[in-house]
Copies of this chain bind each other. A is one copy, B any other.
Amino acid sequence: MQVKPRILLTGATGFLGSNLARTFVRQGVPLAILVRPCSNITVLGDIISGLKMYTWDGSYATVRAAIADFKPDVVVHVASMIQSEHKSTDIPELFAANITYGSYLLEAMAVSGVKHIINTGTFWQHYKKQPYLPVNLYAATKQAFCDILEYYTDACGIKAISMELFDTYGVNDTRKKIIPLLLHAWRTGETLDMSPGEQEIMLVHIDDVCMAYIKAIELIQRADYTGHRKYAISHGTPIQLQALVKLIGVVTGKSISACFGKRPYRVREVMQVCTGSILPDWNPKVDLHEGIRRTFYRSL
């Protein structure tokens, strides 16, 4: 980045957040992170010395204090509780993480005069390619937060970009997602029981996703930027799960033992992904071949 905005980052100990934290530190921006008391900050390694850390204990007061003390130019809100299928007992935490936490950020921003927020949404907000139809309750909480955001953008002059993410992947991903599962099977030779595998997935490499956040931070600080815009962080080329498994075999020279059809599709499985308006001036550079090479070889 040519200008170096002060950035406050939430969710910094997650897969995306920790990659963003490293990217921001590498770019030389003054960075603060807002983490929960229980967050495992060791995932950030030695970059921890290059940033300021605040703790969110669940209260508005701690969010307010972090924003008032650090005075960020841009808040990058990545923290989220992700769930493809929820249990009844998950609801309080799901709402606290995905609706209330972000709303506290917005309220504190309005009070402190902080004007820019990059928010993180999901393609799951667009089931059946609809403008809004949530795949799951998680996606509904993301949309609910966008509605709260509309109030703060219109009434308090806050500017916002919501990044609608697809499947992110890369090295050191400990989430229970498709690439880590495939990587485990590829490494160990264990057979992986799968769904029939005809669903499309849009895999976007973490390095490209981080570059998208950089571009969004530049865009939102432009004098002519207004309101709340939503952008798909997509390169536009999904792949069927079956084809992905084959491609990994071809690229790495070692095939995965996958048993398709052994498991049912997920409830409300997304068979075709839908890409809305893509973030402007962002050119993803890591194609799937290269992404597989980076992820599988570097993870060895």
Contact digits for A135-176, partner B, Cβ 8 Å, 1 yes 0 no: 011011101110110110011000000000000000000000
Q: Decide if A95 touches B91 in the complex (CB within 8 Å).
A: no
Q: Decide if A111 touches B99 in the complex (CB within 8 Å).
A: no
Of all chain B residues, which has the CB nearest A268? B155
* A134 adjacent to chain B (CB < 8 Å): yes
Using Cβ atoms and an 8 Å threshold, which residues of chain B touch A260?
Answer: none
Of all chain B residues, which has the CB nearest A149? B140
* A129 adjacent to chain B (CB < 8 Å): no
Using Cβ atoms and an 8 Å threshold, which residues of chain B touch A147?
Answer: 132, 134, 140, 143-144, 147
Using Cβ atoms and an 8 Å threshold, which residues of chain B touch A140?
Answer: 147-148, 150-151
Instruction: State the copy count for this chain.
Output: 2
How far is B107's CA from A140's CA once the two chains are assembled, in angstroms? 13
How far is B137's CA from A207's CA once the two chains are assembled, in angstroms? 36
How far is B147's CA from A147's CA once the two chains are assembled, in angstroms? 9
Using Cβ atoms and an 8 Å threshold, which residues of chain B touch A243?
Answer: none
Q: Considering the complex of A and B, which 7 residue pairs feature the smallest CB-CB distances, nearest first?
A: A144-B144, A140-B151, A143-B147, A144-B147, A134-B151, A140-B148, A88-B107
A140-B148, A144-B147 given; name 7 further pairs at CB < 8 Å: A88-B107, A88-B111, A91-B107, A95-B95, A133-B150, A134-B147, A155-B267
